[in-house]
Amino acid sequence: MDESDARNIRNICILAHVDHGKTTLADHLIASSGDGELLKPRLAGKVRYMDYLDEEQRRAITMKSSSISLRYKDYSLNLIDSPGHMDFCSEVSTAARLSDGALVLVDAVEGVHIQTHAVLRQAWIEKLTPCLVLNKIDRLICELRLSPMEAYTRLIRIVHEVNGIVSAYKSEKYLSDVDSILASPSGEITDESLELLEDDEEVTFQPQKGNVVFVCALDGWGFGVSEFANFYASKLGAKADTLQKSLWGPRYYIPKTKMIVGKKSLSAGSKTKPMFVQFVLDPLWQVYEAALDPGGDRAVLEKVIKSFNLIIPQRELQNKDPKNLLQSVMSRWLPLSDAVLSMAVKHLPDPISAQAYRIPRLVPERKVIGGNEVDSSVLAEAELVRRSIEACDSSRDSPCVVFVSKMFAIPMKMIPQGGDHRERMNGLNDDDSKSESDECFLAFARIFSGVLRAGQRVFVISALYDPLKGESSQKYIQEAELHSIYLMMGQGLKPVNEVKAGNVVAIRGLGPYISKSATLSSTRNCWPLASMEFQVSPTLRVAIEPSDPSDMSALMKGLRLLNRADPFVEITVSARGEHVLAAAGEVHLERCIKDLTDRFARVNIEVSSPLVSYRETIEGDGSNLLESLRSLSLNASDYVEKRTPNGRCVIRVHVMKLPHSLTKLLDESTDLLGDIIGGKGSHSIKILESQSPSLEENVDPVEALKNQLVEAGVSSSSETENDREKCKAEWAKLLKRIWALGPREKGPNILFAPDGKRICEDGSILVRGSPHVSQRLGFTEDSTETPPDSALYSEALTLESSIVSGFQLATASGPLCDEPMWGLAFTIESHLAEDSETEKQPENFGIFTGQVMTAVKDACRAAVLQTNPRIVEAMYFCELNTAPEYLGPMYAVLSRRRARVLKEEMQEGSSLFTVHAYVPVSESFGFAEELRKGTSGGASALMVLSHWEMLEEDPFFVPKTEEEIEEFGDGASVLPNTARKLINAVRRRKGLHVEEKVVQHATKQRTLARKV
């Protein structure tokens, strides 16, 4: 293969919301390739060829991304089908990384849904070129029974909406999926917006440009406007190009003058339809009516067959079932695969042009900042490798670079046998024990540069590797010998000896080296490719153990295999020694358990009920952070005081609530903050481009975060402009005092360094702390102040780390139920007094620092408990779809689950309702199941983790005022409220003390019992 060959490669993934028809579309593309040797055309759309796992066929949803190599004309295509269910969204990321272009499907009836947002975002992050496929056009005709004009309005609306989402990613700020759904305009589109829309070069999807097709994947037909433009060109005596431009949007054909005009030139009240309706939809509707209506006019069909010279076997023409007849005609008149694939090869990029602009995302540019110690030859080679990726250089002597986006396991029997004798002899190399050799691990990979050969030796580089770091980075690089390379054919594999840059393949022999993803390279001096970004993190956690304790080792082995085979599952051992499995959702969890029992461990497993995480905070919305700080300095009574047992150190802790926007920002930037705060000062390399999807390229993420931090502190308070400025100044001052973040040094809680006088009246001195985080973030310079040279001062200095540790411990486990704290600001003043005992024993010092740490921790926890503590729970954003008759039962289920409904909307043109709601994670288990039962399968729900939300309820509520006692009773008989119940459940699970009166009124209970 030479360069011109790489120009003929297209790596394409199919992305969409669940059930919008990806796998059905893939079927038709497969059937049309290679004379139907893989899949008979008449079976296309029925077998769902890419869903080869039993579980996928059983549930009729795709659960993994898988690739197939196809040929279309001179082109070779790697088509990757991806799942649409939220639980498997990580598979969308792995598919997107290996592709250059994406076919984004939208169901014409259901329209844009939550996963449509998510996949468009994923495509945007990975710099994929998208094309739009509007699927299920047949449903507009047969199910909704829309007129062509109504259908047209609906299609325009969808295209408009999808364009809106993409342009938000392109231009504005980064939004999470949930935010973008909540922000998306649902208003009507006016004619003016249409005029704007169609002439704007910036608009991504434009049918008249050819990157939108209208299809019915089930029946195997589809078209872009160019198909019709070509057909009408000769009939109307117009140029196909001109026609194509007019076949979408408000363009009208005046037969008298043979002119195409805009809306303005139409006479008032004119009934002329837009050209898309007149020339495209009307004929389509006529064919459908002719075929499906009992009294339909067969002549219309004959006319179509004749004018397009369709060759249809008699057998099919005489088919009694009108549906089959229709399918025969439509799939020959407007073949689906032609419409989709001709669009794909024309509008989606080849690897050479794609890699040239994807390079900043794949290998962010790095700049050496002042490192004299950097080895320039290493740097030069690493740069060379980067350029070779940029050029998609497939010459033999260029460095070979491959990205593995996931590892997957297939049963050994699916591996083609023969040919490679080494495989059989050396089968153990894949897996580390005999019992595991039933499964074979393959790497799902793309070659970005050079040539990869079977049997080649490569370096396996993990994401943390840095070639400039020399020795210290060695643990991130390994050497491996590949076994075989396969072209993926959906269910099958085709062994090949070598592949060139730009192709997608499966590689065998990397099982022991890679757990999730990695970069392979022929040279050590190569940067790892940037890590992939996942839409959500695995949040559903359960503890698992074997039913029979003696199966423990089998389970461990199974877990190890599962961890490797599933890119998204997380397996950890909890502090209490349980094996905790984290999955993305219930469907995912169920599949993991099934895989474990049937394939990987083959033992029976007990699964605990889900372990839900909570956070702890205090009452309030944090809008008065600045005021409470001010009052703190005025009146210093509002604190908790603790003393170390030896009495030398007095600790005063004051706690405040952070503004919500700030907490959210800290929560979202954890990784970045971790990098900044934990980063070594002498970092010689700076990654220039942000890896997170910040919009404008080349924005320094640290700068961006700093600006956001400055904004977040003031945004919530202050009314007048003047006030705002004052607040800003004050907040800026405060930002210079950030001593630490917690827990784990990067959480959403802040420790401010105290601002008091250094020496107090009683001679004790204040442990000042250093604004360590502020310095790292660049809010303040490294302080040059040298403390007075005295023993007490230097002792105070050494206590600083104990105070920070105490703060970290406290924020990691709050007083309510040992869950991490959330959105709190602490100021800790510790006063250290002179040691009264004359002799100082150094061995006592260790004890003393420990005492300080414990005192700080206790004081922080006590401060929270004293300031109206509240429990915070995680919320899912939930999108429900239902027919109107099930709205009632659906709301019943929602209210049982403490859900908060955000909006209910009827989808225009159909009778379906879409409802958005927040559902607490703790209430979400079995939700889908209950919904299905409650509505006899008439309503469906998808959930994505959204945010943390504080429960307003006071967990320690006891009626005090007269009115309260009247309403709730005297306290003894008050039932625990929701907050209290949640806390108690967690405490019970963790084996903590639970204050509960088991028997409240013994006498009453006895009488009750007798009655029963």
Ligand X SMILES: Nc1nc2c(ncn2[C@@H]2O[C@H](COP(=O)(O)OP(=O)(O)OP(=O)(O)O)[C@@H](O)[C@H]2O)c(=O)[nH]1
**Where does this chain bind ligand X (CB under 6 A)?**
16, 18-24, 48, 60-62, 83-85, 135-136, 138-139, 216-218
Q: How far apart are CA 880 and CA 805, in angstroms?
A: 45
**DSSP annotation of 266:** S
Q: How far apart are CA 116 and CA 124, in angstroms?
A: 12
Q: How far apart are CA 331 and CA 344, in angstroms?
A: 19
| Smallest distance, Mg ion to C-beta of residue 223, A | 23
Q: Which does 511 bind (CB under 5 to 8 A by kind): Mg ion, ligand X, none?
A: none
- Nearest to Mg ion of 23, 563 (CB atom): 23
**Kind plus residue range of the DSSP H or E element containing 900:** strand 900-906
Contacting range for Mg ion; rule: CB under 5 A; set: 54-62, 95-103, 395-403, 823-831:
54-62
- Nearest to Mg ion of 163, 535 (CB atom): 535
| Smallest distance, Mg ion to C-beta of residue 68, A | 13
- Nearest to Mg ion of 95, 480 (CB atom): 95
Rounded to 5°, the CA angle 948-952-955 comes to 105
Contacting range for Mg ion; rule: CB under 5 A; set: 22-30, 310-318, 637-645, 789-797:
22-30
- Nearest to ligand X of 872, 939 (CB atom): 939
Q: Which does 20 bind (CB under 5 to 8 A by kind): Mg ion, ligand X, none?
A: ligand X
Q: Which does 136 bind (CB under 5 to 8 A by kind): Mg ion, ligand X, none?
A: ligand X
Q: Are 452 and 400 in contact (CB under 8 A)?
A: yes
Q: How far apart are CA 78 and CA 947, in angstroms?
A: 37
Roughly how many angstroms between the first and final C-alpha of the chain, as a whole number?
A: 84
Strand ranges (DSSP E) for 464-535? 477-481, 485-489, 492-496, 498-500, 504-508, 518-521
Q: Are 829 and 861 in contact (CB under 8 A)?
A: no
Which has the closest alpha carbon to 101: 285, 327, 269, 346?
Answer: 346
Q: Which does 980 bind (CB under 5 to 8 A by kind): ligand X, Mg ion, none?
A: none
| Smallest distance, Mg ion to C-beta of residue 23, A | 3
Q: Which does 348 bind (CB under 5 to 8 A by kind): ligand X, Mg ion, none?
A: none
Q: Which two three-digit tokens encode residue 564?
A: 């490797």
Contacting range for Mg ion; rule: CB under 5 A; set: 15-23, 105-113, 443-451, 576-584:
15-23
Residue type, 780: T
Q: Which does 317 bind (CB under 5 to 8 A by kind): Mg ion, ligand X, none?
A: none
Q: Which of 10, 17, 20, 22 binds Mg ion (CB under 5 A)?
A: 22
Q: Provide the 10 A C-beta neighbour count for residue 962.
A: 8
- Nearest to ligand X of 91, 393 (CB atom): 91
Which has the closest alpha carbon to 122: 153, 144, 91?
Answer: 91
Q: Which does 870 bind (CB under 5 to 8 A by kind): ligand X, Mg ion, none?
A: none
Burial string for 681-716 (b: 16+ CB within 10 Å, else e) reads eeebbebebbbeebeeeeeebbebbbebbeebbbbb
| Smallest distance, ligand X to C-beta of residue 538, A | 19
Q: Which does 24 bind (CB under 5 to 8 A by kind): ligand X, Mg ion, none?
A: ligand X
Q: Which does 16 bind (CB under 5 to 8 A by kind): ligand X, Mg ion, none?
A: ligand X
Residue 60-79 contact track with Mg ion, rule CB under 5 A, x = bound: --x-----------------
- Nearest to Mg ion of 23, 851 (CB atom): 23
Q: How far apart are CA 669 and CA 658, in angstroms?
A: 16
Torsion angle defined by CA atoms of residues 479, 484, 487 and 491, in that order, rounded to the nearest 10 degrees: -110
Q: Are 407 and 516 in contact (CB under 8 A)?
A: yes
Q: Which two three-digit tokens encode residue 678?
A: 């934990």
| Smallest distance, Mg ion to C-beta of residue 729, A | 56
Which residue(s) pair with 947 in the sheet?
Answer: 875
| Smallest distance, ligand X to C-beta of residue 722, A | 54
- Nearest to ligand X of 339, 894 (CB atom): 339
| Smallest distance, ligand X to C-beta of residue 25, A | 7
- Nearest to Mg ion of 102, 649 (CB atom): 102
Q: How far apart are CA 21 and CA 219, in angstroms?
A: 12
Q: Which does 138 bind (CB under 5 to 8 A by kind): Mg ion, ligand X, none?
A: ligand X
| Smallest distance, ligand X to C-beta of residue 108, A | 8
Q: Which does 765 bind (CB under 5 to 8 A by kind): Mg ion, ligand X, none?
A: none
- Nearest to ligand X of 61, 277 (CB atom): 61
Asked whether position 23 contacts Mg ion by CB under 5 A, the answer is yes
Q: How far apart are CA 84 and CA 116, in angstroms?
A: 9
Q: Which does 218 bind (CB under 5 to 8 A by kind): ligand X, Mg ion, none?
A: ligand X
Tell me which residue has its CB nearest to ligand X. Answer: 84
| Smallest distance, ligand X to C-beta of residue 295, A | 23
- Nearest to ligand X of 444, 918 (CB atom): 444
| Smallest distance, ligand X to C-beta of residue 802, A | 53
Residues near Mg ion (CB under 5 A), total: 3
- Nearest to ligand X of 20, 870 (CB atom): 20
Contacting range for Mg ion; rule: CB under 5 A; set: 17-25, 120-128, 416-424, 469-477:
17-25
| Smallest distance, ligand X to C-beta of residue 524, A | 40
Q: Which two three-digit tokens encode residue 579?
A: 């094996």
- Nearest to ligand X of 59, 209 (CB atom): 59
Within 172-313, residue ranges assigned H as helices are 177-183, 191-199, 225-236, 240-246, 275, 282-292, 298-307
Q: How far apart are CA 772 and CA 753, in angstroms?
A: 9
Count helices and strands (H / E) in the chain: 35, 36
- Nearest to ligand X of 25, 362 (CB atom): 25
- Nearest to ligand X of 155, 810 (CB atom): 155
Which has the closest alpha carbon to 13: 496, 353, 344?
Answer: 344
| Smallest distance, Mg ion to C-beta of residue 88, A | 10
| Smallest distance, Mg ion to C-beta of residue 619, A | 47
Q: What is the DSSP string of 544-605?
A: EEESSGGGHHHHHHHHHHHHHH-SS-EEEE-TTS-EEEEESSHHHHHHHHHHIIIIIS-S-E
| Smallest distance, ligand X to C-beta of residue 259, A | 36
Q: How far apart are CA 212 and CA 17, in angstroms?
A: 17
- Please give the residue ranges that form the binding site for Mg ion (CB under 5 A): 22-23, 62
